[in-house]
Amino acid sequence: MTETAILNKPRFMREEPRPAITPAQEAAIPLWIAEGPAALADIRAAAFNALRKTGLPHSGSEDFTFIRVGEFLPHLGPPAESAPERSGDRSPAAAEIESQLVAEAAEAYLVLIDGTYHPELSRPGSGFRISTLSRAELAAEARAALALIASQETDAVASLAMIFSRDPLVIQVEAGSVPGSPLLLLHFHTGSGVRSDSLIIYHGAKLSEAVLLVRHSTLADSATSANAVATGSMENVQTVALLDEGASLKFLEAGASGSGESTLIRDIHFRKLAARLERNSRLLAVSAHTGSRLTRNSFSVDLAGEGAEAEINGATVLTGNRQSHNFIRIRHLVPHCVSRQLFKSVAADQSRSSVDGTIYVAKHAQQTNAYQLINNLMLSDEARADSKPQLLIHADDVKCSHGSTSGKLDPAQQFYLESRGLPPAQARALLTIAFIAEVLGKADKKGFRAVLDRALLDTLKNRLPAAAKGVSHG
């Protein structure tokens, strides 16, 4: 079976006519590609073809089961070229960059503003080759893999990121190279009331090993235009990771932080990690979020070489009426690969979370070992958490398991702690924090872990009774 055949839509998908892309897009995109750098044209064209095939999301889209498509559809037109506050008009001050740094990567960080790489604000560290796609010397195989991902994309929003990202940042680690420190990607979003599209490409050559830390923040004095206030902004960030034989990547991402609490209530965040793993390569991803008006975290991982291993973890703490939706597709295309997923959400108030995760095992991918667990902790009767774990298995000699739980705290654990003298409120706080800390603990970089703790655990502590103040975490 060829890989293209595998990509055919699963049988359960409804075969209804899909809405096409808008006439404005149909007209604007070929022009945009033709006027852009020649070196980007093939990738953009592949993404455009995929977009035309998929069409824009609609209310029946399988990929958006738990999201009201109408919430973000108005943002999917061609990016507004004329928006006055486009990228570059507002740069982060030194102090703003400083505030986003973490101990492990104080000397190795890249600044992106609405997806555009700013070398003058960055310190690339050593061991990473930094470029942009129009200038990068990307190995032929990596370029082919990138084109494949672009052409196979079934997520229209991800296709838009590939088409409209200005000149995508390319990070490469050479064969056998192990950079001494992680590289921190600082995404600054101007939140100018329009959609910003970003594509970041990571290529880890044979036996390379690296850590990427990712932070997002909204610039303080942005999002003040009437347009931004009225509609909110949409951040559309896609990261593509191409891992050659034996390469290893840790990808640790913290959701929005920094200045704009008010912008979070307005803004839409679409983030995607698309990865292709060759033989014996390894990917560990940890993504921790506190949501926004609408946040969608998508993971698409192809295990394309035998012995490849992917571990994808997500932690979400939601308060107010924020939303966060995780969407995961893991495809075991060859034998002897391992994938593990752990997604945990804490939902308070009227917040909404969902995890829609599918493990696909191709016919010849024998000896696959795949595991998926979704745990939701509900702190309020009005909160909502949806889970849709799915296995699509075409091979007959595999070990696959999945599970999903939603509920309140475990009374046995609570009794255990109380029987040791902890007051009920303190026991509950400790267990709630522990629930989410299990995922955060997988981000084994101390300084970055502290960022995640501040973002997620402080959100929780503010929600929990005063007893939580004495609770720290290991």
- Segment near other proteins (CB under 8 A); pick from 97-105, 180-188, 319-327, 419-427: 419-427
Which H or E run contains 460? helix 458-463
Number of neighbouring beta carbons within 10 Å of residue 81: 9
Closest separation between CB of residue 72 and other proteins, Å?
Answer: 33
Whole-angstrom distance, CA of residue 132 vs CA of residue 152 = 22
Closest separation between CB of residue 467 and other proteins, Å?
Answer: 10
Closest separation between CB of residue 412 and other proteins, Å?
Answer: 5
Q: Indicate which single residue of 424, 458, 465, 466 sits in contact with other proteins (rule: CB under 8 A).
A: 424
Binding-residue pattern over the window 435 to 474 for other proteins, x denoting contact by CB under 8 A: xxxx--x----------------------------xxxxx
- Segment near other proteins (CB under 8 A); pick from 20-28, 62-70, 333-341, 416-424: 416-424
Nearer to other proteins, 261 or 438 (CB): 438
Closest separation between CB of residue 326 and other proteins, Å?
Answer: 19
Give Cα separations from 54 to 60, 82, 159, 168 (angstroms): 13, 28, 9, 23
Q: Does 286 bind other proteins (CB under 8 A)?
A: no
Closest separation between CB of residue 446 and other proteins, Å?
Answer: 14
How many residues in the shown chain lie near other proteins by CB under 8 A?
30
Nearer to other proteins, 156 or 457 (CB): 457
Nearer to other proteins, 49 or 413 (CB): 413
Closest separation between CB of residue 432 and other proteins, Å?
Answer: 10
Q: Indicate which single residue of 194, 427, 443, 468 sits in contact with other proteins (rule: CB under 8 A).
A: 427
Which H or E run contains 148? helix 140-152
Q: Does 23 bind other proteins (CB under 8 A)?
A: no
Give the dihedral sign, CA 72/73/79/85.
Answer: negative
Q: Does 380 bind other proteins (CB under 8 A)?
A: no
Q: Are 169 and 130 in contact (CB under 8 A)?
A: yes
Give Cα separations from 383 to 58, 316, 375, 428 (angstroms): 25, 13, 14, 18
Q: Are 302 and 273 in contact (CB under 8 A)?
A: no
Q: Indicate which single residue of 413, 447, 450, 461 sits in contact with other proteins (rule: CB under 8 A).
A: 413
Q: Which of residues 322-361 bind other proteins (CB under 8 A)?
A: none
Nearer to other proteins, 370 or 427 (CB): 427
Q: Does 431 bind other proteins (CB under 8 A)?
A: yes
Nearer to other proteins, 145 or 422 (CB): 422
Q: Indicate which single residue of 107, 423, 465, 469 sits in contact with other proteins (rule: CB under 8 A).
A: 423
Whole-angstrom distance, CA of residue 190 vs CA of residue 121 = 16
Q: Does 434 bind other proteins (CB under 8 A)?
A: yes
Whole-angstrom distance, CA of residue 68 vs CA of residue 228 = 20
DSSP 294-358: EEEEEEEEEE-STT-EEEEEEEEEE-TT-EEEEEEEEEE-SSS-EEEEEEEEEE-TT-EEEEEEE
Amino acid making up residue 296 = R
Whole-angstrom distance, CA of residue 102 vs CA of residue 212 = 12
Maximal CA-CA distance, the chain = 70
